[in-house]
Amino acid sequence: MSQDIVILAAGKGSRMKSAFSKVLHKVGGVAMVNRVLATASSITDAKLHLVVGHQGEQVEASCQAFATNIVWQNDPQGTGDALRRVAPFLQADGATLTLYGDVPLIRATTLKKMAKQSTSNTLVLLTISLDNPTGYGRIVRDEQNKVVAIVEQKDASESQLQINEVNTGILLAPNNHLQTWLADLTNNNAQGEYYLTDIIAMAARDGVEIVTVNPENEAEVAGVNDRVQLAALERELQSQQAIHLMQNGATLLDPSRIDVRGELITGQDVIIDVNCVFEGKVVLGNGVEIGPNCHLKDCVVGDNTIIKSNTLIDDSQVGDSCDLGPFARLRPGTQLANKAKIGNFVETKKARIGEGSKVNHLSYIGDTEMGANVNVGAGTITCNYDGVNKHLTQVADNVFIGSNTSLVAPIKVEEGATIAAGSTITKQVGEKQLAFARARQTNKDNWPRPVKK
């Protein structure tokens, strides 16, 4: 069956106490509504509809990567009202799946399980049994255990409040019936709203079969109303991701202290210490070791590389058997060949470092092409910026650069050259040449030191 998927994202979310729409708050580094849209997009040939209202321009801008029909609900009057706004855009045949922009951990496997139950005369409900069902609509069944209605908490009788099976709000309804049911909705209830759940009783009235499907766990259908619930879902997602990483061969020294805010792909025997953060897409090869407090974003790290504590890597490529940190920073455009070493308090940017080359201490290497087996002394910087433009520094193989050297770009240092410590190099250095550029030292006898007045 063809499928429409409606994501409800019009609510204000006042309990978040935020200047932003509730659905734009992030779980695992991704806005909640974007997570739902990504899951919905995995359903083959589904037509997506996004219902927006409060700060809808922000929500729409955030979701531009998805092929979504935007439907406005400026004066929300309940979930049934939201579906009514979408009704003119629904396909004549097929079924409509209703999701929520603040229920970010719903799984595609669950949605596909619902789709398998869907027919032109079947309504599929996603329900779950809770020890404490307070706040949820209760699933009412008849003597034959068939679903006949959903009663909201505020409208439930004392006996109905004892029911543990609750409505998650996620349902899949056949479009040939849904249009009629939406037209028949009324707001005769405690909230004065149009409840989408009222269509359950209509389905029972019309002889439509109502079947239920259960999610894998409660977190999958948990919604967010405040920042406490947001934090709880963040921890749940991180726990799920930690388990997945360990099942795929990674060792996490403390699974409760890792944050994956994107996609982390690990090889075999990867070791990750505590408080590491991964953003965007990060790929770690076999045998990679990462020390505590590291931050990796959109990077690839080769086999057997060691990343020591407090190292930052952003939009960079690191080869095999490299040694980084502690306190190193690789900025966008850095490429390290195999066995390169970037030591403590070294920063690189748009730099290609050759095989076996070492930048060990307190240096800045930017806009640089460096060959193999280069040794860069402590305190070396490439002066790549003239105040207007960036310029390239080229360092060939087997160059030795003494400590406290400034290489004023554009400049080229040829193979096997040596630069004396404390030099400011402004001209090309030839192959195997020694370059030194220091001011003449002057010593004065009996120099009186300044004294405190």
Mean pLDDT of 192-220: 93
The reply to whether 361 belongs to the active site is yes
Q: Is 8 known as a binding-site position?
A: yes
Q: Is 167 known as a binding-site position?
A: yes
| Residue that is written with structure tokens 């060990």 in the block | 360
CB 413 within 8 A of CB 396: yes
Return the DSSP state at 441.
Answer: P
pLDDT > 90? residue 25: yes
Q: Is 249 known as a binding-site position?
A: no
Select from 273, 277, 270, 264 the least CA-distant residue to 250.
270
Provide the pLDDT confidence category of residue 265 given band limits of 50, 70 and 90.
very high
Residue 170 token pair: 């996620």
Q: Please give the pLDDT value at position 76.
A: 84
Q: The dihedral of CA 211, 216, 220, 221: what is its sign?
A: positive
CA dist 386 and 61 (Å) reads 37
Q: What type of residue is 379? A: G
Q: Is 385 known as a binding-site position?
A: yes
CB 348 within 8 A of CB 334: yes
Q: Please give the pLDDT value at position 190.
A: 77
CA dist 382 and 269 (Å) reads 37
pLDDT tens digits, 389-401: 999 999 999 999 9
CA dist 260 and 247 (Å) reads 15
- H-type alpha helices, 6-48: 32-41
Q: Please give the pLDDT value at position 230.
A: 97
Q: Please give the pLDDT value at position 135.
A: 86
Strands 289-290 and 306-307: parallel
Q: Is 73 known as a binding-site position?
A: yes
Q: Please give the pLDDT value at position 452.
A: 86
Mean pLDDT of 311-320: 98
CA dist 401 and 407 (Å) reads 10
CB 250 within 8 A of CB 244: no
> What residue ranges do the domains of the chain occupy?
3-221, 227-435
Select from 380, 350, 379 the least CA-distant residue to 367.
350
CA dist 117 and 353 (Å) reads 57
Q: What is the pTM of this model?
A: 0.90
Mean pLDDT of 291-298: 98
Provide the pLDDT confidence category of residue 304 given band limits of 50, 70 and 90.
very high
Give Cβ neighbours of residue 369 (< 8 Å, ≥ 6 apart): 351, 352, 392, 393, 394, 395
HSE, side-chain direction, 13 A CA sphere, residue 304? 6
Q: Is 377 known as a binding-site position?
A: no
pLDDT > 90? residue 326: yes
Q: Is 102 known as a binding-site position?
A: yes
| Residue that is written with structure tokens 């057997």 in the block | 304
Looking at domain 227-435, its CATH architecture is 3 Solenoid (2.160)
Catalytic position from the list 54, 295, 361, 391? 361
| Residue that is written with structure tokens 């006996």 in the block | 159
Select from 192, 168, 194 the least CA-distant residue to 181.
194
Four-way CATH pick for 3-221: 3.20.20.80, 3.40.50.9100, 1.10.3720.10, 3.90.550.10: 3.90.550.10
pLDDT tens digits, 35-83: 999 999 998 889 999 999 999 999 999 999 999 999 999 888 899 999 9
Q: Is 78 known as a binding-site position?
A: yes
Q: Is 331 known as a binding-site position?
A: yes
pLDDT tens digits, 356-382: 999 999 999 999 999 999 999 999 999
Q: Is 207 known as a binding-site position?
A: no
CB 428 within 8 A of CB 409: no
Provide the pLDDT confidence category of residue 1 given band limits of 50, 70 and 90.
low
